[in-house]
Amino acid sequence: MDALALWQHYQDWLYYHPELEFYVDVSRMGLTPAVVQRLEPAFEHAFQQMKELEAGAIANPDEGRMVGHYWLRDADLAPTPELRAEICDAIAQVKQFSQQVHSGTIAPPQGGRFTDILSIGIGGSALGPQFVAAALAPVNPPLNIHFLDNTDPAGFERVFAELGDRLRTTLVIVISKSGGTPETRNGMLETQARFQRAGLAFADHAVAVTMPGSGLAQVAESNGWLAIFPMFDWVGGRTSELSTVGLLPAALQGIDIDALLEGAKLMDQATRVPQIRQNPAALLALAWHHAGKGRGEKDMVVLPYKDSLLLFSRYLQQLVMESLGKEKDLDGNIVHQGIAVYGNKGTTDQHAYVQQLRDGLPNFFVTFIEVLRDAQEPGIEVEPGITSGDYLSGLLLGTRQALYEKNRPSLTVTIPEVTPKTVGALIALYERAVGLYGFLVNINAYHQPGVEAGKKAAAANLALQRQIVKVLEQSDEPLDLGAIATAVNAPDQLERIYLILRHLVANDRGIEQLGDPAQPSQLQFRWQR
């Protein structure tokens, strides 16, 4: 394609939103009018399904739930007056609480004001708040935020070391629908223990974000926590950033949550347009479908060219992969759908893997995230007439061109600058693109049976661990793996038993290992008395 034809092709496949100053360029994804025409019937179905979803249809049939994260930024769309009131009340509660914390009306009992937030959650209860904090927190926020998003004891130690003496001025947010999520529960228990050791009353520092009536809500209420914020059963974790899950920590950091919601609302309006070429989310879904032949045959590599958007690819991993990675379609057929997502920031990480992207396996397409404004302050010239920001832009455009020359597909999403409004719009754009793509390939984008299966397997391992420990406690002699397996009625689980024992030995949990570690089958184990 010559330069003039390429220019015309670029214009044909470029979407622009004038109010958001938002561009979506799919001109280098190999799309043609014939591709659009072929998929138009499927998109008509997807647009209708999305319309019904927003009107309150049961869009998650496995759980019999509505899917209403779109209502969070436009409560007037909620299907009942009760839901509208709940959404508006939750936002008002977030704003009031944040203002009271900032003013010192709500303060630590030891005096002074809260200086830090410790947010305890996992998955969507962590990734969204982490992404927004990294993107938007001011340089000197009213409260600095820290996260416990795993059940890693070393991670706990690191975060508590960062807090140090400021534990007494730390506000703790525990985020869990049920309160039973093991990682979140463990983080809460570890935090309670730290407060107890410091002679501090945990309840005077604690806030819950949870479902009304949940186990966590009952604990918070009975122990007199500072506040309880509602979660809704019609909002999934990966689409919860614009609910209390994300709005509360954002507001406490001084981030403009009204602008976040407004950006999402504007993008929602744009992505309701039932024409593919005039709908930016439909263009993304079209590009994904075409690149992967509707079967996810190409991975999505996300390269945001801005330090503050470092965590966007991580956020999208959950949103895209948990939504679209499904074994069965809505008709029960085995389809193994999904799109793998990986990436990091440009230009830093393109030094790590652009070599393969250009010259290696063509099993991907790239998503460039471009930010037009370099910084709030004008940059110096690092060369005559050239700034550091010019280099960043030049490297993005150069990488895009280098990939194009090797027939490697890419698309580019461009925003004017990183603000609450544009971040809200980015979140909404990808939420809608994922939803539309899910309808195109006829899968349930709003459940996560694979995640639940992993949780069940973990619970089974912990139950087996308890059995193993009990057997060793009751034995006067060392036991080999075969004897332990027989005693716990799991003769075919030698590997699992060995791996559990290895972990217990390494952590001085009262079990001694006898023999050569290079010969696991010959090892013996005994309880240290």
Q: Which residues are catalytic?
A: 322, 351, 455
Q: How far apart are CA 194 and CA 427, in angstroms?
A: 35
At residue 174, what are phi and psi to the nearest 5 degrees?
A: -105, 120
Q: 3-class SS at 381? A: strand
* Gap between the Cα atoms of 454 and 190, Å rounded: 23
| Three-class secondary structure of residue 334 per DSSP | strand
- Among 527, 456, 525, which residue's Cα sits nearest to residue 497? 525
Q: Is there a contact between 430 and 415 (Cβ–Cβ < 8 Å)?
A: no
- Tokens representing 344 are 């990091």
- CA distances 266 to 184, 202, 257, 333, 424, Å, are 33, 40, 14, 36, 9
| Cβ atoms < 10 Å from Cβ of 288 | 27
Taking alpha carbons only, the member of 181, 211, 236, 315 closest to residue 60 is 236
C-alpha angle 26-35-55 in degrees, rounded to nearest 5: 80
User: How many Cα atoms occupy the beta-carbon half-sphere of 220 within 13 Å?
Assistant: 28
Helix boundaries (H) for 55-123:
81-103
